[in-house]
A and B are shown apart, each in its own frame.
Chain A
Amino acid sequence: MSLLFLPRTIYGKLILSFSAIFVLSGFAALAAIYSLYSVEGKIGLIESFYGISQKILEVRSYEKNFLLYENRDELVSAMDKLEDVRAIISGRSSQDAINHFVDRGDTKLCLTELDTYSGLMRQLTGPGYDKDGMNNLKVKLREAGHAFMNCTMGLDSAAKEHIAKDVRRYKAVAFVLVILILPMCAFMGIILANWIMTPLRNIRRSVAQVMKGDISSIPVESTKKICVECAELIDALNKMLQTISDKHQQFMQTEKLVALGKVTAGIAHEINNPLNNISLTAEMLMEDLSGMDCDERRSMIRDIVVQVDRAREIVRNLLDFSRPRKPSVWVKVDLRDLLNNTLAFLKNQVRLSGADIKIDIPETPVITMGNPSQLQQVFVNIILNALQAMDGSGALGLKVFLRAGEDRAVVEISDTGPGIPPEVREHIFEPFFTTKSDGTGLGLSVSYGIIKEHKGDISVSSGPGGGTTFRVELPLWYELDRHE
């Protein structure tokens, strides 16, 4: 459900995530700026308290001088200073932040003390008192000064405590912010990585499956809903896969036509022989129809029919080989039948080459799964190479056996030609690698591709004294119940 509210593009997800992170960090920055402004205000407050205590100290020193020397001018100066202090405390001055931080009652109390203190000063500056009265007032003045100082000091410490509390609070807020934002960012990072990585990982998995041959294209449906760019990427990859597959098909078809070109002589011979037999027999019939008895005629007509069948069979083989087949069509293939058909197809080519042929194929079926036309293409290719290598004489060996202990069939095709030198052997399955002047270099590379697609192996070995053996291994196919 929550997916409905998510953007469907990587771009959108990035924008969303960065906006969220921007909002969070903007909030943190605002909080920090607010804290800094507050602290700045509080520094001003501390400065005003410093000013107050300086002034009070001056007042007290005027007071002390008065008490010592009874100079009334000192008291007048002290009163002036006291008015300054009052202005600050009562908030009339510009630095009136005090009231913000200190209890109003405390301030009023201090102002009362200040009034008492300054009232006493005013009395002392007034007309003369007797000595006792004077001394009495002096004691009161000293006490009042002391009380006022204590009161302002109380205000000061209250304000300081208040500031300390505020700073502690800011610290706590900052701490809480860090505690909150860090995991949120980590969480968002993980979510973001998942949003982006999950479809990419799916693509990687699908590509691996495609390479293993389990699927032919990458599924796009599920990705479309969560990642538009990924869907586009999948589309592009699928188009590429299709192109590669088309090219591969073209290669295979080209290679097949090349192989077909090589067997033209055999095919011509193969078809011309029955045609010749038919033509000879028909002409003989025509020439001497009346001179023959019924049995003779029938036997000659039967010859014609048999020869027509023979020609038809050759053409069918030829078409079977050359017709492009869908690569995905896999059926059960008996390797024995496949190889016998291949040999039938190449019979005349083998005969024309003058090579002997030694066949060793087991009695029991050797079943594998695959595309018979493609597998035949591989064997045609290897056999034609072998015939070409022997050039006129030698022995072509064809052996099929099961590898002991493993579910694999092995087809070995050997020749008694000059062998393949190691520096050629290592490149022999590479596309466009050829040692023949008229070669395309496609034959063995296409064969390699076909055998790998059939989950098999193809390898070549050559003895020092000449002779080459191509070995094709294919997995055997069993009925399911044989595994259970």
Chain B
Amino acid sequence: MSDDNGGSHLRLLVIDDEPIVGKRLKQLFTKMGLGVETFTNPVPAMEAMERCPFDIVVTDLKMNGMNGMEVLKRVKDINPEAKVVIITGYAQLDTASEAFRRGVFDFIAKPFRLDELKRVIVKAMSGTLLARRQK
């Protein structure tokens, strides 16, 4: 895996109103060399995104204040290159296809295995790095 080569350049944003999700993902991905910030409320998360765009965003779908779809749209507005991964406790086919239409990188149903998310994030990372290198 290419965890170490340039991982520190990449920034990961985790938005989930379950604080444990943020805590665990921060533990995991910090270890993998990403710069991780976690939020339980999407509104301040978007403010942080505007201040300094993240490369990868992991967001819950159903949240107070703003839902994952809006987060996806805002993130793409700010940084069209950003990879957005949506996780949700209640996956419906129409929501998933809608998300893909709007350019979501992946759509993961809760409860998910850590490996599953790790694989998706690694794929996103390599995609981002590849694009950067091509520039």
Binding site for B on A (CB under 8 A): 265-266, 268-273, 275-281, 283-284, 287-288, 303, 307, 351-352, 354
Contacts and interface: CB of A to CB of B under 8 A. Distances in A.
A24 to B, nearest CB: 86
A351 B62 contact: yes
Given A276-B18, A277-B21, A303-B20, A269 B114 contact: no
Contacts of B67: 354
11 contacts: A266-B90, A268-B89, A270-B89, A272-B89, A277-B24, A281-B20, A283-B114, A284-B27, A303-B20, A351-B62, A351-B64
B110 A276 contact: yes
A269 B18 CA distance: 12
Given A277-B18, A280-B20, A272 B62 contact: no
A146 B31 CA distance: 165
Given A268-B90, A284-B28, A352-B62, A276 B114 contact: no
A471 to B, nearest CB: 28
- In the A-B complex, the 10 residue pairs with the smallest Cβ-Cβ separation, listed nearest first, are A272-B89, A269-B89, A276-B111, A276-B110, A277-B20, A283-B114, A275-B111, A280-B24, A272-B110, A269-B90
B20 A307 contact: yes
Contacts of A268: 89-90
Contacts of A273: 18, 89, 110
B112 interface: yes
Contacts of A270: 89
Contacts of A284: 24, 27-28, 114
A279 B111 contact: yes
A277 B20 CA distance: 6
A288 B26 CA distance: 14
A277 B24 CA distance: 9
B113 interface: yes
Given A269-B89, A279-B111, A279-B112, 20 more contacts: A269-B90, A272-B89, A272-B111, A273-B110, A275-B110, A276-B18, A276-B21, A276-B87, A276-B111, A276-B112, A277-B20, A277-B24, A279-B114, A280-B25, A280-B114, A287-B114, A288-B31, A307-B20, A351-B64, A354-B67
A309 to B, nearest CB: 13
Contacts of B27: 284, 288
A269 B62 contact: yes
B41 to A, nearest CB: 13
A395 to B, nearest CB: 14
A303 B22 CA distance: 13
A427 B90 CA distance: 35
Nearest to A307: B20
A40 B109 CA distance: 115
Contacts of B111: 272, 275-276, 278-280
B112 to A, nearest CB: 7
A315 B111 CA distance: 17
Interface in B59-113: 62, 64, 67, 87-90, 92, 109-113
Contacts of B109: 272
A446 B16 CA distance: 39
B13 to A, nearest CB: 17
Nearest to A267: B90
A280 B21 contact: yes
A278 B90 CA distance: 17
A268 B92 CA distance: 11
B86 to A, nearest CB: 14
Given A276-B111, A351-B64, A281 B89 contact: no
Nearest to B62: A352
A344 B90 CA distance: 18
A281 B26 CA distance: 12
The residue in B109, B110, B114 that gathers the most chain A C-beta atoms within 10 A of its C-beta is: B110
A270 B89 CA distance: 7
Contacts of B114: 279-280, 283-284, 287
Nearest to B108: A276
A59 B109 CA distance: 144
B43 to A, nearest CB: 14
Among A268, A277, A280, the most chain B Cβ lie within 10 Å of the Cβ of A280
Nearest to A287: B114
B90 A265 contact: yes
Contacts of B112: 276, 279
A315 to B, nearest CB: 15
B46 to A, nearest CB: 17
A268 B109 CA distance: 11
Contacts of B24: 277, 280-281, 284
Nearest to A299: B23
Given A284-B28, A351-B62, A354-B67, A276 B89 contact: yes
